[in-house]
A and B are shown apart, each in its own frame.
Chain A
Amino acid sequence: GENVEQHPSTLSVQEGDSAVIKCTYSDSASNYFPWYKQELGKGPQLIIDIRSNVGEKKDQRIAVTLNKTAKHFSLHITETQPEDSAVYFCAASINEKLTFGTGTRLTIIP
């Protein structure tokens, strides 16, 4: 089955700087790659996603890039703010089933 690896597991960034989280997947048939943000004690919230026919997608301060050849995709957050502090999960989808990475705890330092 699909296997998703996510790095780093923790990331501390000065407020205003950029943060990058990277994921790799194993199954070349995966065709959908969402990113979720989870705050403490809450359910994950979908923040951005990308499909396999697109190389990059941007939504305000958040962007995702996909390299199908290398089977990796990344989340970029620019001009980080304290409210960006959370755990971020990547996922890869094949046949409508999501396989998740193990998460990155992002801390924004004021």
Chain B
Amino acid sequence: DGGITQSPKYLFRKEGQNVTLSCEQNLNHDAMYWYRQDPGQGLRLIYYSQIVNDFQKGDIAEGYSVSREKKESFPLTVTSAQKNPTAFYLCASSISSGSHEQYFGPGTRLTVT
């Protein structure tokens, strides 16, 4: 059963704590992406990676960090520097950096209080 998995589905943290969201894909896709979705808004790009050990900032990278040590994994850390971390976080992948079709995981809803 191929696809993109994100865990956990719901995550709760206290303000001031860093938290890491998991994203794994077994589609053998080269490129992976992290988006943030807020109520009534479209998706905004946080970070993306076109190849292992390389990643680029998206439109709203401040307060976030990523790593891409393995092709199938692209974890996102929401740091305490992120001013409004409560949101729905979506991970996506595409077959290569030259391909446009992006496929999304089920998302993680993060609540910080």
Contacts and interface: CB of A to CB of B under 8 A. Distances in A.
A110 interface: no
Contacts of A97: 45, 48, 58
Interface string B1-36: 000101000000000000000000000000100000
Interface string B72-113: 000000000000000000101010011111111111010000
Interface in B29-63: 31, 40-45, 48, 50, 58-59
Given A44-B90, A96-B98, A89 B104 contact: no
Interface of B: 4, 6, 31, 40-45, 48, 50, 58-59, 90, 92, 94, 97-107, 109
A43 B90 contact: yes
Given A97-B45, A103-B42, A44 B104 contact: yes
A89 B107 contact: no
B40 A32 contact: no
26 contacts: A6-B42, A9-B40, A34-B101, A36-B104, A41-B107, A42-B106, A43-B4, A43-B92, A43-B104, A43-B105, A44-B43, A44-B104, A46-B101, A46-B102, A46-B103, A49-B101, A91-B42, A93-B100, A96-B99, A98-B43, A100-B44, A101-B42, A102-B40, A102-B41, A103-B40, A103-B42
